[in-house]
Structure 1
Amino acid sequence: MTTIDWSEGRWTTEPENVRFSEDGMFVTAVEGSDAWRITSYGFVHDTEHALLRPMVEGQAIEVSFRVDFPEQFDQAGVFVKADAETWIKAGIESSDGEESLGAVVTRGESDWSLSPVPGWAGRIATVRASWSAGALTIRARVDDEAWRLVRVAPLPTGTAVQAGPFCCAPTRAGLTVQFLDWVTTDADPALHAE
């Protein structure tokens, strides 16, 4: 496992503020920042704050952050981007008053899946994106608990991809996310534990 320095990434959209300390990277999102394409709402939002660097097949990245999302649609996690119409975001999002673990997979239009994670507030979540065999496998956990499978999505071999931590604040000002780690390692050896 190799730690990625925050300076290795480039922002898709500059946040309102970024500061660093021995406790990690603190990112304050711009009000209205989001990533979404068309489905149900009819709009395209591509103002997410994603700190990206190249990712290659056979590799996995993990991003850890503190779960502190008190307002509707506050969110953070991992963003994997091929182009403006092909990307995946996965992590924790506040929806209808509770934290949920979910993913948005976008190929021209976005889809969305969520599963409540009661008891995760205030704890450290880690989201893992593993790319192998033409698929991106997303897993997540809180603290040192067991990994949960979140999503398996096609990500074809030979695709030029960038990936890293992201956050958005679609409905309000003042969201600051504490990111603790960004690491890379080998892709998962199998979809299911053996």
Structure 2
Amino acid sequence: MSANFHRIHDAEWTTEPAQARTEGDRLIVEAQEGSDFWEKTFYGFCHQNGHAMLAPWDGTKAVEVSFDLSSFTELYDQAGLMLWHGQDQWIKAGVEVNDGVAHVGAVVTDRFSDWSLSPVPEWGGRIVTIRASYHDEAVVIRARTDEHPWRTIRVARFAYPTNKQAGPFLCSPKRAGFEVAFTKWKMTEPDQDLHTDPPIAD
């Protein structure tokens, strides 16, 4: 799959964003206020109105999504990579603002959501890439910036041999006007090993 968002014909939004446009090779998306993905855990509520642009993903290739952190300023501003099997089985991995600091993390959901996160204040204003590689009913999720190396952020069970989808996502639970510039969405060679960093692809 090309990084050129004009060429993505088989992708569909789970929920239409407030607006989306292309500027050169970038896809600029504005989230609707109150949009999110979450299932029950801790808060008790279910949110299924986040914005994920999904295309079929059979797992034979790794999938990468890149985006610009410059617009992330408010609580729960978030974007990254969505892996999807259905409304009750999905993983969102990316960057989210929490207590005024950007955090890299993942929400893994199988009827109930969990949330793992780590602060990355040094990533502010950078281009972030989130990557998922599928192997033996699991995904290895990694992240980096244009200045920082890969770090493994999660190994999670995702035991769905068929009907998997993947693509960029964004949510804005707390405010209107949150825009994200996505700079890349591509399929590339899968990980060779859990302990071997994948190459940095153009």
- Aligned residue in 2 for 1:179: 182
Q: Equivalent residue for 1:118?
A: 121
Q: Which amino acid aligns with 2:93?
A: A
Matched-pair contact (CA < 8 Å) for 1:120–1:142:
yes
1:118 Cα offset (Å)? 1.2
Question: What is the root-mean-square deviation in Å for CA atoms of aligned residues?
Answer: 1.3
**1:111 match: secondary structure:** strand
Long gaps (5+) in structure 2: 198-202
Which residue of 35, 38, 41 maps to 1:39?
41
Where do 1:43-192 residues align within 5 Å? 43-67=45-69, 68-156=71-159, 158-192=161-195
Q: Which runs of 4+ in 1 moved over 4 A?
A: none
Instruction: Find the aligned partners of 1:89 and 1:46 in 2 and give their Cα distance.
Output: 12
Q: Is the 8 A contact 1:79 1:89 kept in 2?
A: yes
SS of the equivalent of 1:119 reads helix
Question: What TM-score do you get using the length of structure 2 for normalisation?
Answer: 0.92
Which whole-Å deviations, capped at 9, do the CAs of 1:27-59 have from their partners, x for residues lacking one? 000000000000011111011110000111222
Aligned twin of 1:29: 31
Q: Distance in 1 between matches of 2:82 and 2:39?
A: 15
Structure 1 Cα separation of the partners of residues 156 and 24 of structure 2: 35
Secondary structure, in 3 states, of the residue corresponding to 1:112?
strand
Amino acid at match of 1:81: W
1:135-183 per-position Cα deviation (integer Å, ceiling 9, x unaligned): 1111000104210001011112523100000000000101000000101
Counterpart residue identity of residue 127, structure 1: I
CA contact (8 A) 1:125 1:141 kept: yes
| Seq. identity, % | 48
User: Structure 1, unaligned stretches of length 5 or more?
Assistant: none
- Could you tell me whether the CA contact under 8 Å between 1:27 and 1:177 is conserved in 2? yes
Give the number of the structure whose residues are more often strand, by fraction.
Answer: 1
The normalised TM-score by structure 1 is 0.95
Contact map agreement 1:133 1:157 (CA 8 A) in 2? no
Deviation at 1:23, TM superposition (A): 4.7
Deviations 1:79-112 (A, max 9, x none): 0010110000000000011000000000010000
Q: How many residues align?
A: 193
- Secondary structure at the aligned position of 2:43 is classed as coil
Aligned to 2:200: none
